[in-house]
Structure 1
Amino acid sequence: MNVFRLAGDLCHLASLVMLILKLKLSGNCLGISCRMHELYLVVFLLRYGDLFFSFISWYNSIMKVLFILGTAYTIYLIRWSPPISQTYNRKIDKFPYEAALFAPLLLLTLITSRWEAFEILWTYSIWLESVAILPQLTMLYQQREVENITGHYVVTMGAYRALYLLNWIYRYYFETPAYVCKVCWVAGLVQTALYADFFYYFAKSKWYGKRLVLPFTGDV
């Protein structure tokens, strides 16, 4: 494991801890998309389905369990735990599940060459993760004003994926044999690109010391 992979995992874990603390301390989930977390839970359950069949390292197994449990707990807080659940805005968090779930399925059928169970589930989870952030971004662009902690949470999530891109580049050049995963590369680029606009406005708000206000674009 290299430093980029470690930093990416820690960013991902930090984003979950940051969000759970925000929910518990503030008692509300304003600006947070439950649909995004539900998509991420699908991603993790599909990708880590081999958790009880394939052991790589304690670090790897513990991280997988933490990502699954942290995401499931976040969904529980937003959907069913008052007073947090009472502030969940279903009218804004309305990105269609179908679009997020079926677009990766189409890519899977067109691109996958190995039709083995775990390979199919893993590949689908990679494509699904690349668009899983869309419900959150859609919600934020609709409400425009972004709380400070929410902005940091989204940026930390984006940093996690950007660091994974660097991890794949590092493995390609420094591992023997070179690590090649075209699906990971393309999906990672798509996912990072989706964050780019938000990163720009976040950095701009920090530079000028102002609140983060996103441009209104209607439905994203």
Structure 2
Amino acid sequence: MDKLHGASNFVNFAAYSWNIFRYIGDYLHLGGILTLLVTIVKNKSVAGISRTTQILYCIVFCTRYLDLFDHTQSFYLVFFKLTYIVTSIIVLVCFYQFDSTYARRHDTCNMTIILVPCTVAALLLTSDYSLLEVLWTFSEFIEGFAMVPQYIFCYRERVNKDVGTSLYVVMLGGYRVFYALNWIYKKINMPRYSDIQSWIGGLVEIMFFLDFLNYRFTGNSILRSFVLKVDTKINEISDQVESKVLGSTSRSERADTEGGEMRRRRKQDEDRPMEDV
């Protein structure tokens, strides 16, 4: 959803905001979420799905849509915003319900490395230092990286070819592509229109999405190797810090119970030649 702008040029802004690109983006987003829920219920499993991504999306929706309490909005906006919040919570409940099917060893992305920089960026780049504005800006930056844990999950897993999960990933990426077209359309028709926070988050997300699509269908990726190496290094540092503080790492303990050492699995993933998933 778009940020609500000020009173100046509001009529023109509202008119151009409701365009075909926005509608397609909204319904792709909704369709992706419903596809995810149907897939989980049908399979009675959260296999192939990153819990980290779902937590990040829950954070995005809960911080972005606090404006529901701030002013009256159209039924369309209220419906979508409440749906996103409620469904994100339902998905997290499903992870609790089907915990035995959750592949923790593939969901290696450290949320801290996403949350901390996005918090700093929100504080530096917010348009106004009100609570709603800072949280809205924070949500825009978080959304730019929310799918990265899912991509890392897919890079590491390789073998899961569930149609529902794949469709979910494609629809979420497609939603952002159409929202970018929506921004371009508004910029063309309203040259003074600016929404730099959304543009930054959207550009980052689209970049990761297009690279993932390239990997998915051709086996080639510009970002895959880099992302996995960074992810591995971050987790190694996290393990070292946790080991010094606590004497052991929860990550290594989980790896032992799942039948292998986590770090060795990551190294093997990176050394394998790329192939279709």
Does TM, normalized by the shorter one, top 0.5? yes
The CA deviation string for residues 150-192 of structure 1, in whole angstroms up to 9 with x for no partner, is 22211111001111111111111224x7421111112111110
The question of 1:61 aligning with 2:92 is answered: no
SS at match of 2:91: helix
Partner of 1:161: 176
Aligned with 1:75 (options 83, 92, 95): 92
Letter in 2 for 1:12: H
Give, in angstroms, the shift of residue 62 of structure 1. Answer: 0.4
Match of 1:45 among 62, 76, 87: 62
What letter corresponds to residue 33 of structure 2 in structure 1? Answer: L
Kept after mapping to 1: 8 A contact 2:123/2:134:
no
TM-score when normalising by structure 1: 0.87
Note the C-alpha offset of 1:203.
3.9
Task: Give the alignment of 1:178-217 within 5 angstroms.
Answer: 178-204=192-218, 217=225
In structure 2, what is the Cα distance between the partners aligned to 1:64 and 1:114? Answer: 22
Q: What does 1:25-44 align with in structure 2 at a 5 Å threshold?
A: 25-44=42-61
The structural deviation recorded for 1:149 is: 2.3
1:55–1:61: 8 Å Cα contact kept in structure 2?
A: no
> Which residue identity is paired with 1:169?
I
Q: How many positions carry a matched residue from both structures?
A: 207
The residue aligned with 1:209 is none
- Structure 1 residue 124: Cα displacement: 0.7
Q: Among the aligned pairs, what percent are the same residue? A: 31
**Does the 8 A contact of 1:142 with 1:216 survive in 2?**
no
Moved more, 142-151 or 11-20: 142-151
Alignment deviations for residues 121-153 of structure 1 (CA, whole Å, 9 cap, x no partner)? 100110111011111111110112342322221
Task: Identify the residue that residue 130 of structure 2 maps to in structure 1.
Answer: 116
Output the aligned Cα RMSD. Answer: 1.9
The reply on whether 1:127 has 2:141 as its aligned counterpart is: yes
Alignment of 1:134-149 (within 5 A): 134-147=148-161, 148-149=163-164
Question: Which sections of structure 1, spanning at least 5 residues, go unmatched?
Answer: 206-214
User: 1:21: which partner in 2?
Assistant: 38
**Equivalent of 2:99 in 59, 63, 85:** 85
Say whether 1:7 aligns with 2:7. no
The structure with higher relative contact order (CA 8 Å, sep 6+) is 1
Uncovered stretches (5+) of structure 2, i.e. residues with no partner: 1-17, 232-277
How much has 1:216 moved relative to structure 2? 7.7
Inter-partner Cα distance in structure 2 for 1:74 and 1:110: 32
Per-residue deviation, 1:3: 0.8
Offset at 1:21? 0.7
* Inter-partner Cα distance in structure 2 for 1:157 and 1:50: 23
Alpha-carbon distance in 2 for matches of 1:130, 1:141: 18
Write the distance in 2 (CA, Å) between the matches of 1:113 and 1:66: 27
